[in-house]
Amino acid sequence: MDSNSQKIKIAMAQIAPIWFQREKTLEKVITYVEKAAAQGCHLVTFGEALVPGYPFWIEKTNGALFNNERQKTIQAEYSHQAVQIERGDLSDLCEVAKQKEIAVYLGIIERPTDRSGHSLYCSMVYIDQQGIIQSVHRKLMPTYEERLSWSTGDGHGLVTHSIPPFTVGGLNCWENWMPLARASLYAQGEDLHVAIWPGNLKNTFDLTSVMAKEGRSYVMSVCGLMRPEDILSTMPELQDLAKQCPEEFMANGGSCIANPDGSWLVEPQVESEGLFVAEIDHAFVRRERQNFDPAGHYSRPDVLSLSVDRSRQTTATFKD
């Protein structure tokens, strides 16, 4: 076997959104997909909630105020700018993925019609190299103040995909701390794990290498960026937000890739927007699985097992 056939190129696009602007952010995403394809990448990944952006305003504007006009107005516009896959919002991106023969993992705020068309979900979308959306994973449990904006998801997107010779899966942000969520992907043969984050070194530095050692997999943590100057919204309710952010970065990146032994392939990239490309070798996975395979020879299904419900949650089932 040609040893080169065991290697693929992967890319992390660490970028800031055009905040609260779905179409312009998707245009930026497409630009980076094309850049990754031009470098021969098989997969390009983007941060959590990138389109149309992470809800940074909640912490800064007393988002827990109940029935507050400012909060309702901001959330209404956020909902308006969210991605509705059924409407075709990702069609141009899918077409580019098809043309360039590159797979994409993208973090979006989804406004699905199967859950009323108004509630929002933090979703991780996988588009294959034929430009087909193969999975939409809605975050199982939004973290802390995120619950004031996002709804709880389900297990429907806990699936893996083939990018030969690798099997790739992924989770949103703090889901990566959930051992059973990780185990559900290990059980499906995952050996390339994609963890997406809104962006911060404090989130990725420790956990990325831990997941790599645990799964004996490559782990790529891909982050977004957010700076006060990225707050470009013309909404009056957000115009003073930049003044409430004295720090230079609201999200400083931290994208990185760990090898299956936990060592760094790409060290965390901080305070820098750009495309970070690396080559990964499936033989490295097989070497590390020689003495530990968490879902294979080192598992004990007769003692420990996991049950996963992958049905898509819905309010009503109709029989016509």
Q: Are 221 and 201 in contact (CB under 8 A)?
A: no
pLDDT at 212: 98
pLDDT at 1: 40
Query: Does residue 190 register a pLDDT over 90?
Result: yes
Binned at pLDDT 50, 70 and 90, residue 235 comes out as: confident
Q: Which residues have a catalytic role annotated?
A: 48, 139, 173
Task: Answer yes or no: is 212 within a domain.
Answer: yes
Task: Answer yes or no: is 319 within a domain.
Answer: no
Query: Does residue 38 register a pLDDT over 70?
Result: yes
What is the rounded average pLDDT of the residues 217-231? 94
| Spatial CB neighbours of 214, under 8 Å, sequence gap ≥ 6 | 182, 294
pLDDT at 232: 76
What is the rounded average pLDDT of the residues 172-198? 98
Task: Answer yes or no: is 235 within a domain.
Answer: yes
What is the rounded average pLDDT of the residues 305-312? 95
Task: Answer yes or no: is 272 within a domain.
Answer: yes
CA distance 97 to 104: 7
CA distance 106 to 29: 9
Query: Does residue 174 register a pLDDT over 50?
Result: yes
pLDDT at 4: 62
Binned at pLDDT 50, 70 and 90, residue 239 comes out as: confident
CA distance 280 to 259: 8
Task: Answer yes or no: is 2 within a domain.
Answer: no
Binned at pLDDT 50, 70 and 90, residue 85 comes out as: very high
Q: Are 222 and 197 in contact (CB under 8 A)?
A: yes
Q: State the amino acid at position 209 in one-letter form.
A: S
Task: Answer yes or no: is 313 within a domain.
Answer: no
Q: Domain range spanning residue 276? A: 7-288
Q: Cα separations (Å) of 71 from 67, 68, 75, 145, 242?
A: 8, 5, 6, 13, 17
Q: Which residues pair with 168 in a beta bridge?
A: 161, 192
pTM here? 0.95
Query: Does residue 229 register a pLDDT over 90?
Result: no
Residue-averaged pLDDT of the chain: 95
CA distance 275 to 255: 10
Q: Which CATH number is 131's domain given?
A: 3.60.110.10
pLDDT at 91: 98
Number of domains present in the structure of the chain: 1
pLDDT at 3: 53
Query: Does residue 87 register a pLDDT over 80?
Result: yes
Task: Answer yes or no: is 99 within a domain.
Answer: yes
Task: Answer yes or no: is 308 within a domain.
Answer: no
Binned at pLDDT 50, 70 and 90, residue 39 comes out as: very high
Query: Does residue 247 register a pLDDT over 80?
Result: no
